[in-house]
Amino acid sequence: MAIPKRRQSKTRSRKRRSHDAVKPLKLQYCSECGQAKPSHTACPTCGHYMGRTVVKIND
């Protein structure tokens, strides 16, 4: 197995981990009801996706 010759500095480790942070969801607004929803998903309130009903919502 390979063994590191030198200890990695804090700066080097932190640079590598800079992309591991949790990012907020990008929200889009539904064209039918106007509610915020994640992109490329059916709207959880009205069930529409790309201009048509794909999920039937019981009220």
Enter the pTM of the model. 0.56
pLDDT digits 0-9 by tens, 7-53: 999 999 999 999 999 989 899 999 889 999 999 999 988 999 988 88
Q: Which two tokens stand for residue 8?
A: 């990695």
Cβ burial 1-13 (10 Å sphere, 16+ → b, else e): eeeeeeeeeeeee
38 close to 28: Cβ distance less than 8 angstroms: yes
CA 16 to chain centre: 21
